[in-house]
Chain A
Amino acid sequence: MNADIERRLRSALAAQAARVTPERLRPAVPPTAVPVRRPASMFLRRAGWVAATLLLVAVTIVTLRPTSSQPQQPPTMETPSPSGSSGAPSPSSPPSPSPSPAAR
C-alpha cells in the first residue's frame, strides 16, 4: 500500500515541478546585481564598535602620557642668611636713633 502511495506521490510532485519551466520564470537577477541593503541596526552596531575602539585608544593615550599637570616654577634664588640656620632672612630693625629722655 505504501509503495502505491509513494509512486503516486513521486508522480504528482514531478508533474507539479515540471510545470515550472525556464520560460515561466522572471528574468534572472543575480545576487551581485542587487545592492546589498544592510539594516540600520547593523550600521549602528558597527558605529558603536568604532566609537568604543576610539574611546579605548584615547583613554590609553591619556593614561600613558607622562603626568606633568602642574607647571614647573622657576627655581628661586636663595641668598644665604648670615646665621646660616634659617632659610628665610629676617628683616632686622636698625638701631633706633631716638634720644633718651635724659639727653633733653
Chain B
Amino acid sequence: MTLTFRLPWPLLRVLRCVVFGASTSRGTPQRDGPPAINELYHARRLSLVRLAVLMVDDLPTAEDVVQDVFAALYQRHGADLRTVADPHAYLTAGVMNAARSVLRRRRTARAYVPPPPPPAPAAEDEALLPEDDQEVLAALARLTVRQRQVVVLRYWSELSEREIAEVLHVSRGTVKSTANRALTILRDALSESRR
C-alpha cells in the first residue's frame, strides 16, 4: 500500500519560490514584448560603458562593470523593474560604485605588485585623440576616485550638483568642494605639463 502525500499546487509553488528564490514574475514578464530590463540594457549599455571607460580607462573592464551592474539589477528587482523608482539613476550609481571598487582594488594591487607596462594604444586611437586631450586625460589620473567621479559626472554626464550628490550619496557641499579641489589639481597638472 502506497501512502501518497500531495501538496496543493499553489503551496508547492510558494515553497519552491521561498527555497530557490524563483520569482513568478522573473523571466516571464506580465506584459507583451521583451522584458523591461532587456530594453533598458539595449538602450543604455553603450552610454554606460562610455561612462565606465571614463572612470576605469580600459574597455574590457568597463564592459564587465556594466554587465555586472545589470546582472545585479536583474537579480535584485527581476525583469519588469516595477520596484525601481528611477532605473537610470540606479544604473548610473551602480556603475559609479562598481568603478570605484575596481579602482580601489587596482590601487591596492599596485601597492604590492609593480604595474605592468601600459598597452600600446592602437594607431586609430592615437589618431582620434588630440595631444591636448591626452594631456587632460593624463591629468585626470592624478585625481582621487571621488574627485574623478565628480568631474566625470559633471563634465561628461552633465549632471547638476544635486544630481551628483544623489548618485554619490554625499551632500551638495561635498560635491562643490570636491569639484573645486579637482579643478585646482587639474589646472596645476596641466600648467606643469606646459612648462
Contacts and interface: CB of A to CB of B under 8 A. Distances in A.
A32 B46 contact: no
Interface residues of A, number: 35
Interface stretch (A4-12, A58-66, A77-85): A4-12
Given A5-B190, A20-B49, A32-B74, A12 B20 contact: no
A50 B21 CA distance: 12
Nearest to A38: B21
Contacts of A18: 128
Contacts of A103: none
A19 B121 CA distance: 12
Interface stretch (B93-101, B130-138, B170-178): B130-138
A14 B129 CA distance: 10
B87 to A, nearest CB: 12
Chain B interface, DSSP helix/strand/loop, else mixed: helix
B155 A10 contact: yes
Chain A interface, DSSP helix/strand/loop, else mixed: helix
A16 interface: yes
Given A2-B183, A25-B46, A28-B45, A19 B129 contact: yes
B130 A43 contact: no
Interface string B52-83: 01100001001100010011011100010000
A26 B63 contact: yes
A36 B74 contact: yes
A56 interface: no
Interface of A: 1-2, 5-6, 8-20, 22, 24-26, 28-32, 34, 36, 38, 42-43, 46-47, 49-50
Closest 3 CB pairs of A and B: A12-B136, A31-B74, A12-B133
16 contacts: A10-B156, A12-B133, A16-B53, A17-B53, A19-B53, A19-B128, A20-B46, A20-B50, A24-B59, A28-B41, A31-B70, A31-B71, A31-B74, A34-B71, A38-B21, A50-B18
